[in-house]
């Protein structure tokens, strides 16, 4: 199967995938970086955790509302919902973090950079010989 040249894993694309993975939706950045199996697992864990948390919150706030309205008090929200929700969401996020680090490592290897060298390091080496705009006398 041929890969679309526009979708190759460059450093810029890797950073975009990492940002999506860590700050938007765990798993989506992995899918964008063509890690479909890992991304689907991460997304599934994150969505399951989110769903469990939403169900717990609905039960929790319904109970608070009924108490405030002096209505018959419903049973307390199941504590296991928020615990397993956080566990699933956290596991998906941590898995996405590991995958993000692997994506960055691969992108750096393809760019011919040392694993400890960052994009900013490579850009600063090329612009060090250029004079500053305010320094010319």
Q: What is the mean pLDDT of the chain?
A: 84
Confidence check: pLDDT of 103 > 90: yes
With CA atoms as reference, report the closest residue to 95 among 15, 9, 32, 37.
37
Q: What is the pLDDT of residue 48?
A: 97
Confidence check: pLDDT of 81 > 60: yes
Contacts 24+ apart (CB under 8 A), 31-40: 33/9, 33/99, 33/103, 34/3, 34/7, 34/9, 35/99, 35/103, 38/95, 38/99, 39/99
Confidence check: pLDDT of 124 > 60: no
Confidence check: pLDDT of 88 > 90: yes
Confidence check: pLDDT of 3 > 60: no
Q: Is the pLDDT higher at 104 or at 2? A: 104
Confidence check: pLDDT of 135 > 80: no
Q: Where are the domains of the chain?
A: 9-119
Q: What is the pTM of this model?
A: 0.73
Average pLDDT over residues 17-25: 95
Q: What is the pLDDT of residue 137?
A: 46
């Amino acid at each position: 199967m041929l890969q679309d040249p526009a979708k190759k894993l460059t450093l810029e694309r890797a950073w975009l995938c990492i940002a999506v993975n860590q700050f938007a939706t765990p798993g989506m950045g992995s899918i964008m970086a063509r890690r479909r199996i890992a991304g689907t697992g991460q997304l599934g864990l994150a969505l399951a955790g989110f769903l469990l948390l939403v169900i717990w919150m609905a039960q929790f706030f319904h109970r608070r509302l009924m108490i405030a309205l002096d209505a018959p008090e419903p049973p307390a929200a199941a504590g296991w919902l928020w615990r397993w929700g956080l566990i699933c969401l956290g596991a998906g996020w941590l898995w996405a973090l590991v995958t993000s680090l692997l994506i960055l490592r691969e992108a750096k290897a393809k760019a011919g950079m040392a694993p400890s060298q960052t994009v900013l390091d490579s850009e600063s080496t090329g612009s060090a010989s250029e004079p500053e705009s305010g320094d010319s006398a």
